[in-house]
Amino acid sequence: MSRKYFGTDGIRGEIGKSPMTPDFALKLGWAAGKVLTKKGHPLVVIGKDTRISGYMLETALQAGLVAAGVDVRLLGPMPTPAVSYLTRTFRASAGIVISASHNPYQDNGVKFFSSEGTKLADEIEEEIENYLDREIETVSSARLGKVIRIDDAGGRYIEFCKRAVPADISFSSLRIILDCANGATYQVSPHVLTELGAEIITIADEPNGLNINHHCGATSLATLTKKVKKYEADIGIALDGDGDRLMMVDHKGETVDGDEAIAIIAHYKHQEGTLGKDVVGTLMSNLGLQQSIEKLGLNFHRADVGDRYVMELLRKYDGILGGEGSGHVIIRDKIPTGDGTIAALQVLNAMISSGKSLHELKQVMKKYPQTLKNVRISKTIDFKNNAEIQDAVKRAEAQLGDRGRVLLRASGTEPLIRVMVEGDKPDETEQLAEDIALVVENISKGVSD
């Protein structure tokens, strides 16, 4: 079945435009409820980020769920990974997050967690979509669901995060700038770091419904970098609007991305003997990360882009660490989804345990420059089987040798072929990417050598 609404990370769009309308959210809640009630009388927890539209969608979703006979627990503003955790602790049948992650406030979305706190299986999402085409049928009054607001949800998550750090570790020697992106972490992550002893200066922690991710957070590090330098902090930590993404800044003001965070955590966990033999990245993960992992004698696997695909490979290889350069880091022995706060704690733990700065720790990985070219195409191109394109790729790969790599990907949302060339010489990668992009463009236009 081809899915009409669900993407790789739930349903997302601009508020007021299909599908992000109150009537659709009502129907979505009912449809999800119909699927869940097949296995008895379910309980669903709902969390949201700080977008102004979250109140509207929350009300509509809970009405639909209740109409289907589902009990609901409202968590209020809560990071996405916290909803994953609380879904499990409440023994809920499912968890729902109302968030558009790193998108601006005009967008919003709905994503689901299973009872295990993982992304909902494709077949369940397809079943929900099937019910979206039906008319709402409300259960009898005696079978309607009940709604209760949970007042201590934040405190539960704070304690969970603190348990991710050994009891004998204190962050009292660290000065941290924490950027909450005016998002879902503003009430919890500062408490986690403070209660673990750190001196923190918090920024972007005053959400007003409209300023989430606005010139702040994991996708906009300029202000965080300035604050790290101004206050001579040891580290800057940036979370995104729903708290599942992490980017960092070291004491010199240099960015430390998701790939580098994974490398740091991998080396620390390998040293303490808790890592295992397999680490998972994506097709876009930096070559330097792969080399850093392989130098440890470990296996590095590349999943399709998207944290749900990273999780699939982690399960396959029974790995505990994976993620993306964008900052989604999954530490599976702590929580079965990306969690920016938990990932940051592991990096801070490595700093304290090793006595090294973040700048020193990130040297375990040599980061290769990446050049990305987006080629707009007028017709579908089977680039994997096109002789001219593959010849251009092979020429580039031969020139790079083991100093880099080439990747072509079709966009899932736009008529684009993405050409990525990675290597140790920026000018060279730029030229090689341009050469391949030109071949792809000519094929699209019907021009051939």
Active site residues: 101
Cα 119 to Cα 307: distance, rounded to the nearest angstrom: 9
Q: What stretch of H or E contains 421? A: strand 416-422
Cα 411 to Cα 84: distance, rounded to the nearest angstrom: 29
Sequential DSSP letters for 58-100: HHHHHHHHHHTT-EEEEEEE--HHHHHHHHHHTT-SEEEEE--
Q: Are strands 43-48 and 94-98 parallel, antiparallel or unpaired?
A: parallel
Backbone angles phi, psi at 313, to 5 degrees: -70, -35
How many degrees, rounded to 5, is the angle at CA 312 between CA 306 and CA 313? 100
The answer to whether the CB of 342 falls within 8 A of the CB of 271 is no
Sheet holding 299-303, edge to edge: 299-303, 278-282, 321-323, 329-331
Strand intervals (E) in 356-395: 370-376
Q: What stretch of H or E contains 130? A: helix 122-132
**Which residue, among 27, 214, 25, has the nearest Cα to 134 in the 3D structure?**
27
The answer to whether the CB of 347 falls within 8 A of the CB of 264 is yes
